[in-house]
Chain A
């Protein structure tokens, strides 16, 4: 861990750069692919560590995509964190810039609406897959399932600030309930 070898940096840049271009629906849709690369393919971390970095990324301010910053650090230190973040955000930022320029010129074309409608079910499917992958990585006991279920219901049915639910989960974990 934490050896910034050129090889590991190239792997980080290539893996996240390519993936970002397929991350339809944002960071939460990309979780299964990030998990596949980090845990199954490259063995950068264990299932448990993946659940940990997911928790940290949800607890910290900023876009949720910064889970890749944590993984990059785990693989190759501070340089790895920078490379992973830029690889995940840079290519799509450039792509977004050019598409928005193109759309500004093409006026009210019909195809953006069609593409958008076509992507909605796909991105929800990907997010559901994220939920499943994270469920297997983090929920190992019945009480853990209960906490996840309660958080889901509370977040859906109330207007409670999500941060409180995360804090409550953390306290339950600290108390050794899970």
Chain B
């Protein structure tokens, strides 16, 4: 909720302290953080971009990530494109995108080949089933962590929307595009209404 602030702000890119990375550096940096990132790349992305290379301040990183989180699709992929483009335009975006996805895709494809060949072995099936159970638990922990602020704020409208989407997609198994084409306009409308009321 920022009031209309002056447009004269300096371009954010000029605030970064380190010299802008080249294409190869972008590719390698994103390949490295991607390969380090088991179960999520974000932590490593922040470490590399903010702490290690000083390409962004923590505030700039948070702002960029917030933008990438509200855009559809894999957040970290969006982040690589926005980040790469900021320093090196379209070639930079492609370099960061390729670095982030190229190496892990090779690894995952090899795993897919192995799974297709050995997936029927009983011991492997049992092991993967165990991993899967634990992974679902991890997902629930993430969900609960994200839900806490909403529960604390006690916003009945947000909670009602959350439950409605959960039931529509998880229980009724309705198609995602249909559910979102209805729920996004409703949610935006209600958010604007609540902000107007809070401001009044």
By the criterion CB–CB under 8 Å, are A59 and B131 in contact?
A: yes
Does A93 lie within 8 Å of B175, measured CB to CB? no
A95 and B141 contacting across the interface, CB-CB below 8 Å: no
Chain A residues whose CB sits within 8 angstroms of the CB of B165 once the complex forms: 121-122, 125-126, 129
Given A18-B177, A100-B82, A114-B195, A176:B131 Cβ within 8 A: no
Q: Closest approach, in angstroms, between the C-beta of A154 and any C-beta of chain B? A: 8
Chain B residues whose C-beta falls within 8 Å of the C-beta of A112 in the assembled complex = 67, 70
Q: Does A10 sit at the interface, judged by CB under 8 A?
A: no
Check if B150 is an interface residue, CB within 8 A of chain A: yes
Q: Which residues of A contact B176 (CB under 8 A)?
A: 19, 22-23, 30, 32-33, 36, 126
Q: For B146, give its contact among A23, A108, A124 (CB under 8 Å).
A: A124
**How many chain-A residues does the 8 Å CB contact rule pick out?**
112
Interface residue from B9, B127, B140, B161 paired with A148 (Cβ < 8 Å): B140
Query: A172–B137 Cα gap in the complex (Å)?
Result: 14
**Complex partner residue of A89 from B4, B74, B187, CB under 8 angstroms:** B74
B166, A129: Cβ atoms under 8 Å? yes
User: Contact partner of A28 among B109, B142, B171, CB < 8 A?
Assistant: B142
- A114 CA to B191 CA, complexed, in Å: 7
Closest approach, in angstroms, between the C-beta of A100 and any C-beta of chain B? 4
B107 neighbours in A (Cβ, 8 Å): 60-62
Q: Are B162 and A122 neighbours in the complex by a CB distance under 8 Å?
A: yes
Known: A97-B85, A122-B162. A66 touches B173 (CB 8 A): no
B173 touches A32 (CB 8 A): yes
A91 with B73: in contact, given A69-B105, A129-B170 (CB under 8 Å)? yes
A22 nearest CB across to chain B (Å) = 5
Q: Does B40 contact A (CB under 8 A)?
A: yes
Q: Is the CB of B116 within 8 A of A74?
A: yes
CB pair B40 A1 closer than 8 Å: no
A151→B190 CA distance, assembly (Å)? 36
Most buried by A among B4, B12, B115: B115
A128 interface residue (CB < 8 Å to B) = yes
Q: Given A93-B77, A118-B191, A119-B187, A163 and B41 touching (CB < 8 A)?
A: no
With known contacts A163-B38, A174-B130, A124–B150 Cβ distance under 8 A: yes
A92 and B72 in contact (CB under 8 A), knowing A70-B115, A120-B158, A162-B38?
yes
- Which B residues are CB-close (under 8 A) to A8? none
Closest Cβ neighbor of B82 among chain A residues: A100
B24 within 8 A of A: no
Q: Are A58 and B159 in contact (CB under 8 A)?
A: no
Interface residues of B (CB under 8 A from A): 1-2, 4-5, 7, 9, 11-12, 34-41, 66-78, 80-82, 85-86, 90, 93, 97, 100-101, 103-105, 107-109, 111-113, 115-116, 119, 123, 125-147, 150, 158-159, 161-166, 169-171, 173, 175-177, 180, 183-184, 187-188, 190-192, 195
Please provide the 5 A-B residue pairs with the shortest distance between their CB atoms, ordered closest to farther: A173-B130, A62-B104, A92-B73, A151-B137, A169-B134
Chain A interface residues toward B at CB < 8 A: 1-2, 18-28, 30, 32-33, 36, 40, 48-49, 51-66, 69-70, 73-74, 78, 81-82, 85, 88-89, 91-93, 95-97, 99-101, 103-104, 107-108, 110, 112-122, 124-135, 137-139, 144, 147-156, 162-163, 165-174, 176-178
Given A99-B71, A115-B188, A156-B145, 5 new contacts (CB under 8 A): A27-B74, A33-B175, A66-B105, A89-B77, A113-B2
